[in-house]
Structures are given as structure tokens and as C-alpha cells.
Structure 1
Amino acid sequence: MNFQTTETIQRLWESFLQEQLAGLPPEQRDAAATQFEQRLSELLAKNGSDSDAGFFDMLGLGPQGAVGFDKIGYAYIKPDFDDSIVPSQLHAAAELYYIYQHERMKIFEVVETLLRLFRLGKMRIQRGPGARGLYLLEKWRPLRYTRQDRMVAYRRAFNYGTMQAPAGAIVNRNFHRQMVGFMVALGQYFRDLLIGEVIRGGQLIEQRPFGSVATVQRIGLDLRYALDRSSYGNIFALAMETGHYLIQVLKLLDAPDIKKAFDANTKWDVVEIVSNRYLGGVAEPSQRAKMAESGRRILQFIADNDFKTAIDPILFQSVVRPMGAHAEAWVAAYRMTPEGRGFPGVTPALRSVLGVPQPVGA
């Protein structure tokens, strides 16, 4: 279809859309408008699919020779920037974030301490499942990625830690700012939605939340893009291997003979006792566990969501609703950690991420 015909269709489409929506009941207009918008996008993409023919017509090399602009095919450029990601890298980054929070909980240090105590005969275990597990860990050393390797990975993907990044490697310097921004944007969205439901008397009246869908989508896309750029290389392999190792050591810490050796009831008691006795203190296990769980789920959601601009707000609300609880839980836990105690609050944090100046005197 040539450019002139396509331009005429686009101009007439708006008039057609207004006529059709005017004849529908108000409660059906939002859904119909979304469907019309999707249909228009499909038609434009289909009409502009033969881009090679249009290019040759521009050069005068097509079957018709040199033609006027009115006979050249419509140049539809498909927006595909937001789709140009590697999902496996993003899922690996989500797992790496979960592993990082357990690194901050000193899980790996606790296991190394248990191995040392077992080797030196300073822990009263000998034949139980815990002793057997420590023997196998010491014999095979299944985790080939050292602490230094993991610290470099955290620095590259999240800009966490003080380890020097390798020369030439891309470091995701804005990760934490964007992560906090996405969490507070989701929190603000559902807080505004709740206020809207209270004011309007119910969640179905007018079918429109007060929260901004665009804000959540924009920060989510930025976070996804930055993670994709910085999580290449060995991040996938490291997250896979370290994740399996973490599963096994958590089972090991729950072994009855190890718990008995420290007079502990659960594996987390073992982590706390060993951390306090040998590692200089415990490291916020309750907060870190919740940040690991909710942070990983949010990053998985970001990896799998396409954040379409024209999505129906009510559909978006239904899809993202389970994430609202994770976002609020993450923010609540984050505020109790050393780095989160200076958290300014949801609204100031969101203003900072969006680049909106703070009010004078704030």
C-alpha cells in the first residue's frame, strides 16, 4: 500500500473511531478503544511489511521504474528496541540477586567456617549426615567460582560491593537506584489505586486507577535494559552453579547433627550462632531473606513482561497486582537494613528516580 493511501486511512481512522465509540455504552468504550488501537497498529505493520520494495521504488529500481512519492510504499519502522533482550540473562540476574542477598547473610562464610571447625576437630560431629556433607564439600569443592568471582559478578550486574570491575566490562551503575525506583513506583501505584477506590466507592467505578501505569512501565524497561547490557559473560553459568550449591548448603545447615552441635532448632539458628561466634555478628537475616524472595520475583516479572504502551489499564492492574505485595515487602525490609535506613520515603525516592526536582524546603 502506498504512502498516500496509508495516510488517508490513518486520517479517516480517527473519525471512524469516534463514531464507533460514540455508539457504545460508556462501560464498553475503554475495552473497545484498546482493541481499535491494537488493530490499527497491526494494519500499519502489515501495510509497511514490504520495505525492500519501497526502498527500490525510491531508487527508481523497482518494476515501475522512477515513480512519484505518492506511489511509494508506506515506510513503517517497527519499534523493537524494548524487545531486544536475552531473557536467559535476565533470569540469571534474578537468581544472582537472590544469591547476593544470601551472600550478605554470610551463608557462604558460615559454611567455610563449619568446614574449618570440622577439619580442626572443634565441632562435635563425626558420623551424621552433616559430617558426611562437610566431608563431601571438602573433598570435591563443587563451587568452582570463588568469593572474588562472585563479587566481580555482583559488581558488574548490580554495582554492589567494592570489588574492582574488570577493565572494559559494563557495570550496571544505576541498578540500585532503578530497583528502588521500580519498587516505590509499584507501591505508589497501588496506594493511589486504593485511594481512588475509597474516593469512588469501589474498584469498578469508572474503571480507572489514579496510579500511573507509564511510570511503572518506564522504570521497568530501563531496569530490564540495563540488566541485559551488564549480565553477559559468565553471569548465567555462575548463577546456575552457585544457585545449586546454595541449595545444597542450606540443606546441609539443616542437618540434625550440625544443629545439635550448636544447640540450634533451625538452620537459621545455626547461621546466627556461627555468625555471632566466629564472623563478627549476624547480618540482618530476616530482612535479607525477604529482599531476596521479593527482589527475585520482581526481577523475574520484569524479565517476562513486555510493558506494552497501549495495554488496557485494568488488564495491567490485574497482571501487576501480585507484584504490589512483593514491592511493599521489599521496601519495608530494605528500610531496616544499614543501606536503607536513609530511605527518604516513597514519594521523594520516586521523584529522584524520575528526575523531578524536590519541592523547596523538602
Structure 2
Amino acid sequence: MSYQTTETIQRLWDDFLRESLAEVPPEQRQQFAQQFEDRFSELLQNAANGGGDGFLDLVGFGDKGPVEFENLPYPYVQPDFDDSVVPSQLHAAAELYYIYQHERMKIFKVVDVLLKLFRLGKMRIQRGPGARALYLVEKWKPLRYGVRDRMIAYRRAFNYGSSKAPAGAVTNVNFHRQLVGLIVAVAQYFRDLQVSEVIRGGPMINQRPFGSSATVQRLGIDLRYALDRSTYGNIFALTMEVGHYLNSILKLLDAPDIKKAFDANTKWNVIEVVSNRYLGGTAEPSQRAKMAESGRRILKFVADNNFETSIDPHLFQTELRPIGPHAEAWLAAYRTTPEGQRFPGVPTALRSTRNRKSIPV
């Protein structure tokens, strides 16, 4: 299709669309309008694919020799930036975030302490499942990626920690700001929807979401792109190995003989007791556990969603709805951590949860 023909079609398209949609019932116009738009893009793309020698025709090296501008093929360029990511890296980043929050809870340090106590005979276990699990961990040393490797991975992917990133490696310096921005945007989106239930008026207003999806999409695309360009190399392998190891040691901490040795009811009690006795105190296990769960779910949503600009608002709202509670839960947990206290808009009720002064009764 020549450029002149394509230009004529584009000029006539609005008239065609207006006349076609005038006969469609109002409640169905949005659906058909999107179908028309998709069909128009498909026609332009197919027309451009038929003119593969357009550049040669432009410079006069084609079969037809020099060609006038109006007879040149339409140069349609397919936008593919938002889709140029490696899904496995993005899923690995979501799992790595889950692992990082458990690192902050001192899970790996607790297991190291248990191995030392078991080796020195300072823990009264001998033949139970926990003792056998500690023996196997010490014998086989399944975790090849040590604390230094993990800290470098956190630094590269999330810019977390104090480890220095390797020279020449890409560091995702804006991860935390983008993550907080995305979560706040998702939470605000659903708060706006709740407000809209009060202020909606006519039937047409009642059929469209009140919140805007543009901010959520923009932040999601930026976050996905930044994670994709910083999680190459050994991040996937490290996440697979450390993820399996984390799963194993959580089962180890839940062994009945280990819980009995520390007079604990759950593995989280074991972590708390060991952290207080040997590691200088706990590190917000309740908040970190929720941030790990909700943060991983949000990052997996970012990895799996293509954030299509022309998506139907109702469909986008349906896709985003499961993420809304996770966004609110992550924010509530983050605001009660030491670094989250600097978060703007922290309510007094949440800020007071960090107050360590005794309350008179």
C-alpha cells in the first residue's frame, strides 16, 4: 500500500468510525470502538509488511528505480519496547525479593547459629528430624551462593544493602522508589474507585471506572524495564538455589525437636528466640513476612502483565483487583518499619506502633 493511499485512509478513518458507531447502542460503543482501533492497526501493519523494499525505492535502488514520495510504501514501525523483556528474569526478581525480606528477618543467620550450637553440643537434640536436617546441611553444604553473593544480588537488583556492586554491573538504583510509587498508585486507584461509589450519578458514569490506569501502567512498565536490565547473569540461578534452600531451612526450623529445644510453638518462635539470644534482637518478622508475601505477588503481576495502553478499563480493573489488597498490606507493613517511618503520610496510629516507651495503665 502506497504512502498516499495510507494517508487517505487515515484521513477517512475518523469519518468511517463516527458513522459506524452512530448506529451502535451507547452501552456497546466502547467495545466496538476498541475493535475498530485494533483492526485499523492491523491493516496498517499488514500494508507496511508488503513494502519491504521501501528504503531501496526511496533512494532509487529498487526494481522500479526512483519512486515519487506518494507512491512509496507506508513506513509502519511496530512498537515493541514494552514487550522486550525476559520473563524468567522478572520472575526471578520477584522470588529474590521474597528471599531478601527473609534475609532481613535473619533466617539464614539463625540457621548458622543452630549449626554452631549443634556442632558444639550446646543444643539438646540428638536423633530427631531437626538434628538429622542440621547434620545434612552441615555435611553437604547445599548453599553454594553465600552471603556475599546474595548481598551483591540484592544490590544489583534492588539497590539494597551496603555491598558494593561489581564494576561494570548494572545496578537498579531506582527500584525502591519505583516499587513504592507503583504500590501507592495501585492503592490510590482502588481508593478512587471506592470514592466513585459515592459520587456516581447517571448510568453512563456508573459504567466506567473512576480511577485512572495510566499512572499504574507507567510505573509498572518502568519498574519491569529496570528489573529486566539489572537481573541478568547469575540472578536466576542464585534465586533457584537459595529459594530451595530457604524452603528447606524453614521446614528445618519447624522440626519438633528444634522447637522443643527452644521451648517454642512455631518456627517463628524459634527465629525470635535465637535472634534475641545470639543475634542482638529480632528484625520486624511480622512486617517483613507480609512485605515478602505481598511484594512478591506485586512483582509477579508486573512480570506477567504487558500493560497494554489500549486495554479496556473494566478489564484492567479486573486484572488489577487481586493486587489491591496486597498493595494496602505492603504499605501498612512498610510504614511500621524503621525505614518506612520516613514515608510521607504515615498515620498517627501506625507511627505510634514504633513507640518503645511504656504505656501507663
Q: Which runs of 5+ in 1 are unaligned?
A: 347-362
Residues 32-69 of structure 1 deviation map (CA, whole Å, 9 limit, x = unaligned): 11111111111111111135321121122222221101
Displacement, 1:31? 1.2
Q: What is the TM-score with the length of structure 2 in the denominator? A: 0.93
Does residue 105 (structure 1) correspond to residue 105 (structure 2)? The answer is yes
Q: SS of 2:263's equivalent? A: coil
Q: What is the TM-score with the length of structure 1 in the denominator? A: 0.93
Does residue 255 (structure 1) correspond to residue 246 (structure 2)? The answer is no
Does residue 127 (structure 1) correspond to residue 127 (structure 2)? The answer is yes
Q: SS of 1:274's equivalent? A: helix
Q: SS of 1:130's equivalent? A: helix
Map 1:55-204; keep pairs closer than 5 Å: 55-200=55-200
**Which runs of 4 or more aligned residues in structure 1 lie more than 3 Å from their structure 2 counterparts after TM superposition?**
201-206
Residue matched to 1:338: 338
Letter in 1 for 2:301: F
Instruction: State the alpha-carbon separation in 1 of the partners of residues 34 and 332 from structure 2.
Output: 36
Instruction: State the alpha-carbon separation in 2 of the partners of residues 225 and 338 from structure 1.
Output: 29
8 Å contact from structure 1 (residues 197, 203) kept in 2:
no
Residue matched to 1:351: none
Residue matched to 1:2: 2
Residue matched to 1:271: 271
Instruction: State the alpha-carbon separation in 1 of the partners of residues 19 and 317 from structure 2.
Output: 28
How many equivalent pairs are there? Answer: 346
8 Å contact from structure 1 (residues 143, 242) kept in 2:
yes
8 Å contact from structure 1 (residues 152, 164) kept in 2:
yes
Does residue 294 (structure 1) correspond to residue 276 (structure 2)? The answer is no
Displacement, 1:98? 0.3
Q: SS of 1:4's equivalent? A: helix
Residue matched to 2:27: 27
Letter in 2 for 1:217: Q
8 Å contact from structure 1 (residues 2, 74) kept in 2:
yes
Instruction: State the alpha-carbon separation in 1 of the partners of residues 148 and 248 from structure 2.
Output: 21
Residue matched to 2:11: 11
Displacement, 1:203? 9.9
Instruction: State the alpha-carbon separation in 2 of the partners of residues 203 and 237 from structure 1.
Output: 53
Q: SS of 2:89's equivalent? A: helix
Displacement, 1:211? 1.3
Instruction: State the alpha-carbon separation in 2 of the partners of residues 35 and 181 from structure 1.
Output: 32
Instruction: State the alpha-carbon separation in 2 of the partners of residues 220 and 147 from structure 1.
Output: 30
Q: Which runs of 5+ in 2 are unaligned?
A: 347-361
Instruction: State the alpha-carbon separation in 1 of the partners of residues 195 and 298 from structure 2.
Output: 24
Displacement, 1:210? 2.1
Instruction: State the alpha-carbon separation in 2 of the partners of residues 143 and 50 from structure 1.
Output: 55
Instruction: State the alpha-carbon separation in 2 of the partners of residues 182 and 282 from structure 1.
Output: 29
Q: 1:60 to 1:151 in 2, by over 3 A?
A: same
Displacement, 1:135? 0.4
Instruction: State the alpha-carbon separation in 1 of the partners of residues 229 and 174 from structure 2.
Output: 12
Q: 1:204 to 1:249 in 2, by over 3 A?
A: farther
Instruction: State the alpha-carbon separation in 2 of the partners of residues 98 and 235 from structure 1.
Output: 13
Q: 1:93 to 1:210 in 2, by over 3 A?
A: same
